[in-house]
Chain A
Amino acid sequence: MAAIDYSASGLEIREEIGAAHEAALDRFAGAGSWWSGAQRIALIEAAREARAQRRTPPWQREAPSPPAVPVPAEALEVARTVAADAHRVDRDVCRGRVAELGDAAYVEIVALVACVSAIDAFCEAIGVDPPALPEPRPGEPDRQRPEGVGDIGAFVDAALGVPGPNVGRALSLAPLENATFFRLVGAMYALEDFGAMVWEERPLSRPQVELVAARVSALNECFY
């Protein structure tokens, strides 16, 4: 696993954050359940390219670069939309893509884009270039759709009977990606201490962190 170096920021980055970012990058390179390592890297590259133009109106954006390996156009479009225009995804848009790709394949792409968006936004915040993507590893997708999922009122199925906020099970159809994403959540925000409203051992108070969280969510027009 390649080490991530954020020293150019001049800041001391918590080891837990760097380790979670490295784990995510490593996970990107391997085959998932529906996409090969090379396809996953191509999808992430498409997402990065789109996210960089998120403030540009869709009709003024540059034409996307062709992927390095064959990837269905619909899948690339999902990656670009989630990266740059996630607030425009409604039930019809999602169901159309799911009909083309399959629900678990769709969710795997969402998870990849969410992970790389979190890492890249952090890099922008601390003023360093985002880490280079790893070389893809060989291997075929296992095409395993998890059991125990069903309708929770979302656009896609999610794990049933799981307590906690719905966002914790939104990526249930891609369990390994969900674990990767929530390792990032734990390192960059909160997991074990999520239920504690008073954070005494942390540099910022809980209200300070939640103010930032609320502002970022509102800027992204995210109601959830």
Chain B
Amino acid sequence: MLLRASSEAIGEEAAIEGAVGAAEGDGGVPSGAAMVRFSEAVTLSSPDLEDSRRALLEELGAVGFVEVAATVGIFNGLVRVADSTGIPLDEVSRKVSEGFRDALGLVQFASAQNTDFDAEPGDGGESGESGSSDLDAFLLR
């Protein structure tokens, strides 16, 4: 969702299929293919790690490379928080993802069960808590 929103904000169109692995490609962003290859190599601990690191360094330079490494690192922490605590998708993210989560097969992930897609707005849980925010408001524009 943030990929789509941030791409639209700069007048570009991201290809989310490439981002989630439902298609080959660069996700519609500069250096996307090299970044995806490297992200996969680190996350999957693949033998391609060294080559993909060299290729990404060459393509982005050291400063940009470190930012990719940092993003890969922190998202390997964030996914563990999300899955292990079972947080549901935020209310607006639920709405925004309606158009693509089925088509891309995201609902096949076991953790998709943590979100009640039929819940009424504002019904984030038994308490009625909602995960709305200013960011959500932006994404809905």
Interface magnitude class on chain A: 35 or more
**A150-B129, A166-B131, A218-B19 as given contacts; A126 in contact with B69, CB under 8 Å:** yes
Of A86, A127, A197, which contacts B6 at CB under 8 A? A197
CB proximity of B134 to chain A, nearest CB, Å: 6
Chain B residue numbers with a CB within 8 Å of A158 are 85, 87
Chain A residue numbers with a CB within 8 Å of B63 are 12, 203
**A114-B77, A205-B30 as given contacts; A211 in contact with B86, CB under 8 Å:** no
Within 8 A of B (CB), among A132-186: 150-156, 158, 160-161, 163-167, 170-171, 181, 184-185
Tell me whether chain B's interface is mostly helix, strand or loop, or mixed: helix
Contact: A210 with B3, CB < 8 Å? yes
Within 8 A of A (CB), among B1-25: 2-3, 5-10, 12, 14, 16, 18-21
CB proximity of B36 to chain A, nearest CB, Å: 5
Contact: A203 with B3, CB < 8 Å? no
CA A54 – CA B3 in complex, angstroms?
Answer: 27
Contact: B81 with A181, CB < 8 Å? yes
Of A91, A194, A206, A209, which contacts B86 at CB under 8 A? A91
**A181-B81, A204-B68, A212-B39 as given contacts; A124 in contact with B49, CB under 8 Å:** yes
CA A216 – CA B69 in complex, angstroms?
Answer: 11
The number of A-B residue pairs with CB atoms under 8 Å apart is 311
Of A189, A221, A223, which contacts B71 at CB under 8 A? A189
Tell me whether chain A's interface is mostly helix, strand or loop, or mixed: helix
Interface residues of A, Cβ cutoff 8 Å to B? 11-14, 17, 54-55, 81-83, 86-91, 94, 107, 110-111, 113-115, 117-127, 150-156, 158, 160-161, 163-167, 170-171, 181, 184-185, 187-189, 194-195, 197-198, 202-224
Closest 8 CB pairs of A and B: A153-B125, A122-B73, A118-B77, A155-B86, A125-B69, A206-B6, A197-B9, A224-B82
